[in-house]
Structure 1
């Protein structure tokens, strides 16, 4: 076991700074699995149907999430939309909303109401600077002309550089980095720009999702060199990179049936465990060395760096223990009442065990 030294170690509870918890019956099914993955803080995404574009909608959604799992802190964001104004930002700050999420129009699930031109939102970004709200970017350009899913993130990166230049005090998160170019671009930006890395992108490459709908997500996994850059950033201890699972549940029927495969990988019940799996596999493959994966680097990536950037504390000071005990990832998560079935990432494979201490 490449990470034998970590067996039985204690870590702060994981903070997941990018997760899709859906609404309705799917929400009822997946929210109770959050703590199973060692997580007690969640940045819940606003791309519901309809999207969360008002403070009132965000607060109502948070109330529903807290009713299902009161032991989790839910961070709320608004969906960047033409109806968002500087006055909306002021109101959001007053009610504890942490940020605004930008989806380029049409690039992923429920993004049809997304951004076409960032310039129209400059007054909003100026107010976000003043109020200290965070801009969360889905960093892909729409697939038009010679832009494809494989280069959509890299084509988007000039937008990130421009936004950082125009709004140097605006805290920006480049969500779910998937390329070495994204890692290097985040490093080049000022201290107000960071990037999140998912659990699944630490192990997937393009060949993984090309034949497996349960590994297909947006942005798609890229080359082995890109994956290796993510792994090294995640264990580097660099505060610019921290965990955001982008766990995105879809019904089994949407992943296997119909005319189009839904984009999303479901990791929520095993969020911390799958990160550990990826680091262990990388050590066994020689991509990382066991000494690269330390308790300090795990704590920074899974908890501390993200909490510090968002300016939040773990009020409960909760801890988790990690063990290698031959636990197996469930094949499905099923709701008997609504007949929804969701397939977890790496279904049926062995994983680490997480317990609360």
Structure 2
């Protein structure tokens, strides 16, 4: 096989504006069929990306022998039905984040991938940004020494009703930050502390029956990492101004590294020693989403495993749920 033929399930805003354009541009991938319950979205995607076949029922895609992979770009509550069905149908699966709502569902999906032997990659887009890739090289090369402390922020200017629709800010954008923390440190989260706005004194937010908890818009989390690094992770869903959507500080015993930091002179910089000058490494530049999706296609064609794994996705879900438990109980939670 020298070309991966793809069926897409769900063509909302993130699909049309982020995922599908770079896949459409890849010479070794072909967007063949699309399924969505919304006719206007189906027809819009067909016109924009040249899908030959459009369906209401996603099962029509799974039944086709000429489709090798599925891009599942629907909401999280569809995962446990569609992902196992696609894997059992012999398809490789690329799924949007978050991976699952519960730890049990996440393990169920990972087990389906192991059982079938087909690829299951979760879309942690932030790990594929050029500055994240450059930061990983800096840390791997020991430019700032042994990593002691990390501060990571994910903040956007959205609305509370969107947090309700997506079942909480930590579950949505927090997923990105947690994956990047694990990806850059190359360590596991072993303990979690957290504070979130629904559990503050005098907070009175309603319980969402789907997830059996309130929906948060502000969160501060502390992680103990398996290699001894301490991490503070901040999430603000309804930020009115200030810093950008994502920045991070990394402090080692031999220097510091800043990613997209408001006081830094460039997107990615590091310094060595106590009073060293900022060093700006060269970064490979790619069109938006190119590397992210190219790696998934290359994994299928070359039998490699460079995409985020199901185990990465399960770990992220477990950390998020540990943070919810920590915020609710006020306890430090050990991540199993």
Q: For the superposition of Structure 1 and Structure 2, which TM-score range results when normalised by the shorter chain?
A: 0.3 to 0.5
What TM-score does the superposition give when structure 1 sets the normalisation length?
A: 0.34
Could you say which structure has the higher strand fraction?
2
Structure of higher CA gyration radius = 2
